[in-house]
Structure 1
Amino acid sequence: MSGQYPPQQINPRANQNSGSKVVLIVLSCVGGGLALICGCGILLGLLLPAVQAAREAARRMSCSNNIKQIGLAMHNYHSTYDSLPPAYTVDANGRPLHSWRTLLLPFIEQRALYEQIDLSKPWDDPVNLPIAQMVIPTYQCPSTVNDPSYTTYVAIVNPNGVMTGPIPTRFRDITDGLSNTIMVTEADSDLAVPWMSPTDIDLQAFLDSGSARNQGGHLGGAHSLFSDGAVKFITDSADLSLREQLINKADDSLGNAGY
């Protein structure tokens, strides 16, 4: 008929090609997405150790700063009393009452807290226990996994060391040199103590440090505070005789290498 167009012919082959193209596009998108996910997973796996290492480096620096603050407090205490604090105070019967960490409170900007403590009663007496359970940021290593009221910053209590017990030491008693003698060290998390407790570690615990360091702390070693206020990182592999020399304050040994 005039004025009418012939019916449009449908090309089945063309429809098949269009469907195939759609399928290919979908598969390409899916494949690209999977490749992107895999790539991101691999990238994340590569970056994660670096991120963890950076975080530990920051925690280690924060820990070092805490111990430097303790060192400054020790020197200020010595300037005030002409001696370092004793490792612990005792009552009339010789019973330990309070830690050196308690005595340092006024010198780490915690005087108000210090004045609330009854020094004539034990640290865990009901009068003092609420304070003992408080968190002192300066006594907290961010790499440890302890109760926040515990600390890994401890003295090495030894008759030949800087911290001998209830008898305080003066700088002039440290004849090996302040830069060669340790005052305070950080212990592994399993040796953590309540910060107010008159409890620290002995020489053997310090000599054994690092033999099984798997309870938190820093990988490969720990910080130690020397009597001159310097903070040095003592590696777990440090020679045992060197460790003992660094504790003795008057054995005429000047070993200061091989940390």
Structure 2
Amino acid sequence: MQCTNNLKQLGLALHNYHDINKRLPIGHGNSYAVWQGTGNHGSWLSRLLPFIEQNNVYDRLDKTDVDLSTTAGGAPLYQLVITEFICPSDDHDGTWTGGQSYPSTQKRAVSNYSASMGSQNNSPCGTHNNFFGNGPEVRNDDPTLSLARLSGVIGHNALAAAFKDVTDGLSNTIALGEVRPRCSNHVRRGWLAANSLYTGTGVAINFNTCEGTPGAGTGCNQHAGQWGASQGFKSIHPGGCNFVFCDGSVHFVAETIDMVNYQRLGDRRDGQPLTEF
């Protein structure tokens, strides 16, 4: 129940953010005037802080700092656990030590909720992917960044759709969903990290990339080299996971959903009919 409530809060925050900014929060980057300088400048979740009654945390962020490492109470903000970002059913205390690109001893506060970049070509390792994405993965070092390349609503770097760009309908398009830090080195980077919380619908729900469990696909693990597979939506809830749709509604989607239908839910503008899910 608490997990569902958290997602409802985030769905409302997305709408309130959109009302002011006329688009959804970017995955990371410095294309907004308030986020100056160079570097990643935090995640889309960091931009939602004022909309979930976390103004004090937001105001302490140094938006000219590449890593947003302003401290709070003697500890870096990236170690500050935000309960609204955590599914209480998952197997962690809100933090994880050691994530992709960070020292193995560095602890970071994590999130169980990630934005949907839709049905993208984001995996080299034999999972279902990219029925409707048009082109290679959307990367921060790509000189041809364009919203047309993003089939979902929030992508890697300064890519984010407006609701007017969701031509399939807000009630038919996934905005956010659940993820598990145990199963992805990128997610372990934490709620504040830019290169962390964007996930595709090209990987089956609960596709096993979890460290310490049997059955993960060959070459499809939680490490950076296979980030596309590990960035699938996952939860500890039996049989599927929860998603926020662009209209703010929350739905539990079964892991047995037809993959084509699932990818249509991730694509904001494919124009294809949906079956019941």
- Structure with more relative contact order (C-alpha pairs < 8 Å, separation 6 or more): 2
Look up the match of 1:203.
200
3-state SS of paired residue (1:162): coil
**Counterparts of 1:171 and 1:256 in 2: how far apart (Å)?**
22
The counterpart of 1:235, out of the listed 245, 248, 254, is: 254
Matched residue, 2:18: 78
Cα distance change, pair 201–85 in 1 and its aligned pair in 2 (3 A): closer
How many angstroms does 1:201 deviate by? 4.0
| Alignment match of 2:153 (pick from 154, 162, 179) | 162
- Helix, strand or coil at the partner of 1:96: coil
Q: 1:1-259 residue pairs with structure 2 within 5 A?
A: 61-90=1-30, 95-123=39-67, 125=69, 130-148=76-94, 149-157=109-117, 158=120, 159-165=150-156, 166-189=158-181, 190-191=183-184, 192-193=187-188, 194-198=190-194, 199-203=196-200, 207-212=203-208, 217-255=236-274, 257-258=276-277
Deviation at 1:197, TM superposition (A): 1.0
Q: 1:94 to 1:120 in 2, by over 3 A?
A: closer
TM-score w.r.t. the length of structure 2 is 0.65
Q: Give the RMSD, CA atoms, in angstroms.
A: 2.4
Alignment: residue pair count: 197
**Contact map agreement 1:187 1:209 (CA 8 A) in 2:** no
Cα distance in 1, alignment partners of residues 7 and 237 from structure 2: 14
> Larger Rg: 1 or 2?
1
Structure 1 unmatched ranges of 5 or more: 1-60
Q: What is the identity, as a one-letter code, of the residue corresponding to 1:224?
A: F
Unaligned 5+ runs, structure 2 = 95-108, 121-149, 214-234
Q: Alpha-carbon deviations, 1:117-136, whole Å to 9, x = none?
A: 01222335465871111110
Cα distance in structure 2, aligned partners of 1:144 and 1:123: 27
**2:24–2:162 Cα contact (<8 Å) kept:** yes
Q: Which moved more, 1:207-216 or 1:97-106?
A: 207-216
Contact 1:242–1:255 (Cα < 8 Å) also in 2: yes
CA deviation digits over 1:143-196, x for unaligned, max 9? Answer: 111351211201133511111331331110100000000111101342343111
Q: Is the 8 A contact 1:188 1:209 kept in 2?
A: no
**Is the 1:180–1:254 Cα contact (8 Å) retained in structure 2?**
no
Q: Is the 8 A contact 2:62 2:69 kept in 1?
A: no
| Contact 2:173–2:245 under 8 Å retained in 1 | yes
